[in-house]
Chain A
C-alpha cells in the first residue's frame, strides 16, 4: 500500500485493501457488533427520550454504567437476557424483520383484477422521515383523481 499517493483512485484502493484485510472470522465478529449497535441505537434514543442517563439506565437493569459503556464501545457483546432487561426498563419492544431491498418489497404486490377494477400498485418510495431533506416537495407530489 502506497501511503504517500494522493491519487484519488489509489487512495480509494488503499482503503479498499484496509476494509478487505479482515479474516472471515473478523468479518463475522464485525457483523455481530453491528447487530448489537442496532439494538443499542434504539436503546440510546429511547433513554434520551425518557431523560435517563447511563447511570440511571444501569440501575434499572441491574448492572453498572461501565458495562453499558463497554457495550457501546464494542468492547463487550450484549446477551439476549440483557436485551430483555433493556426492553422492560425502557418499556419498548424490539421488532425483528428481514431487511428487504426496495425491489424485493414491491414485487410482493403484483397488480391484479378483482372484478371491481384493475389494481396497480404505484411504486411509491417511502421517504425517510428522519431525514427531512429527502421528503418530497409539495409541487412534485402526484395526486390521483378518482372519478
Chain B
C-alpha cells in the first residue's frame, strides 16, 4: 500500500522538493520543532539539500545494500545527540527529485550501523510513496 508524502518546500528552480511522510508527520514535526536549535539545523539541512550541495556531515546516502540505494539520512548534531531523519529520494513528475523525510532515529550510538538501524533503513527502502502538493 502506498504511503503519502506531503510537499513542504521547493527549490527556487523547481528541480528539488522536500516532503514529509504523512503517517509519521506528528513525530517528525514534534522533533524538529522542539527548540530553536533543532529548527535551525533542519533549515540548514533543507537549504543544503535544495541547493544540491555536497555535505556528508549534514546529509548523506545510506545505501548499505542494493535494496537501499535511494535511502538517505539528514544528520542532526553528529558528534552530540547524533539523531537521524531517514529519507527516501524519488523522482516525481517532470523529473523533479523529491526527498521524503520518513523515519526518525534518535541517538545513533556508533559509527557502524546496528541491526536496529539496518532494519529501519531497509524499512524506508521498502516504502512506496504517492506525492501530494497542497
Contact = CB atoms under 8 A, between A and B. Distances in A.
B119 interface: no
Interface of A: 1, 3-4, 6, 8-9, 11-12, 14-16, 18-19, 21-22, 26, 30, 33-34, 37-38, 40-41, 44-45, 69, 72-74, 128, 130-131, 133-134
A3 B30 contact: yes
A33 B44 CA distance: 8
Interface string B3-32: 010111100000100001011011001101
24 contacts: A1-B29, A3-B30, A4-B26, A8-B22, A8-B134, A11-B22, A11-B25, A11-B29, A12-B7, A12-B134, A14-B29, A15-B9, A15-B20, A16-B8, A19-B43, A30-B47, A34-B48, A37-B47, A40-B55, A41-B55, A44-B54, A69-B57, A74-B44, A133-B91
Given A15-B9, A18-B32, A73 B58 contact: yes
Interface in B38-78: 39-44, 47-48, 51-58, 78
B122 to A, nearest CB: 25
A31 to B, nearest CB: 9
Instruction: Say what secondary structure dominates the interface of chain B.
Output: mixed
B102 to A, nearest CB: 14
A3 B40 contact: no
Nearest to B50: A34
Nearest to A1: B33
B58 A74 contact: yes
Contacts of B26: 3-4, 6
A11 B27 CA distance: 12
Contact of A44 (B6, B33, B52, B55): B55
